[in-house]
Amino acid sequence: MSISEKDIIKESAEIIKKSRHTLVLTGAGISTESGIPDYRSKGTGLWEKYDPIQKASLSALMHNPKEFYEFNLPRWSSYIDAKPNIAHKVLALMEEQGLIYGVITQNIDGLHIKAGSKKVWEVHGHLRTCHCMECGRSYPFTELKEQYEKGVNPPRCRKCSGMLRPDVVLFEDPMGKDYYRALEALRGCDLLIVVGSSLQVYPVADMPGYAEKLIIINREPTPWDKKATLVFHSSAGEYFAKLARELNLE
């Protein structure tokens, strides 16, 4: 017999309150209610329409940087003005009150930090900075946007004229420091709450295997659903609005 939505929320709250070391893993689905489209939803996901290796990989940047920036930069720039939604805000409150240890996110939009979360591992990088691929000089992400809007494509380093790239983990890139820090944080994790992730992008998709228990909140089924203690196939906002009430969070 399937468990009711009300019971899922109630049981979630009980499991969270009893957990000793809870982490949250978030994917694109947590940010859709902030106006940021996801990548892998059937029929609407960006990578359902385009091959990510051709559009958002290291080789795409190196072989055709002009097309790489034409495809990615306007979309990434639109994320900068996005605002955290209720799911981001409730997670920040849960951390503040000691209900979760921190958030591991696949997202580059920075919305967890905007919402007030302190312990955030951005395993795919972020859109706050960029750097020169030649001399390594760092710039604010807005440097890319400003040069692009002035017709400089690809954007160039002001010091050595090397090509700039965003501090995001592209397809074919090695994982950055936050990924390995997240793995350290997962040691002893007795509960991992997965929010808005299809759990199809590796190596992050292996992270549920580090936790004793799983709660999964995602609109569509994931490969880990059968191993989860609780699964909620709905929006992250709906789940966390109800969970906040159950946990008596302000």
Q: How is the beta sheet containing 102-105 ordered, strand by strand?
A: 120-122, 102-105, 22-26, 191-195, 213-217, 230-232
Question: Which SS3 state, helix, strand or coil, does residue 85 take?
Answer: coil
Other CB atoms within 10 Å distance of the CB of residue 51 = 11
Identify whether the C-beta of residue 224 lies closer than 8 Å to the C-beta of residue 57: no
Q: Is 198 annotated as a binding residue?
A: yes
Q: Is 109 annotated as a binding residue?
A: yes
Identify whether the C-beta of residue 123 lies closer than 8 Å to the C-beta of residue 204: yes
Q: Is 147 annotated as a binding residue?
A: no
Q: Is 32 annotated as a binding residue?
A: yes
Q: Is 160 annotated as a binding residue?
A: yes
Could you say which of 124, 126, 131, 233 is catalytic?
A: 124
Q: Is 130 annotated as a binding residue?
A: no
Other CB atoms within 10 Å distance of the CB of residue 226 = 8
Does residue 88 carry a catalytic annotation? no
Which structure tokens are listed for 10? Answer: 């109630």
Q: Is 218 annotated as a binding residue?
A: yes
Q: Is 126 annotated as a binding residue?
A: no
Distance CA 71, CA 59 (A): 14
Q: Is 180 annotated as a binding residue?
A: no
Q: Is 244 annotated as a binding residue?
A: no
Distance CA 234, CA 215 (A): 13
Q: Is 197 annotated as a binding residue?
A: yes
Q: Is 107 annotated as a binding residue?
A: no
User: What type of residue is 198?
Assistant: S
Q: Is 156 annotated as a binding residue?
A: no
Identify whether the C-beta of residue 47 lies closer than 8 Å to the C-beta of residue 171: no
Identify whether the C-beta of residue 230 lies closer than 8 Å to the C-beta of residue 11: yes
Binding residues for Zn(2+), by number, are 132, 135, 157, 160
Binding residues, by number, are 28, 32, 39-40, 106, 108-109, 124, 132, 135, 157, 160, 197-198, 218, 236
Q: Which residues are catalytic?
A: 124
Binding residues for NAD(+), by number, are 28, 32, 39-40, 106, 108-109, 124, 197-198, 218, 236
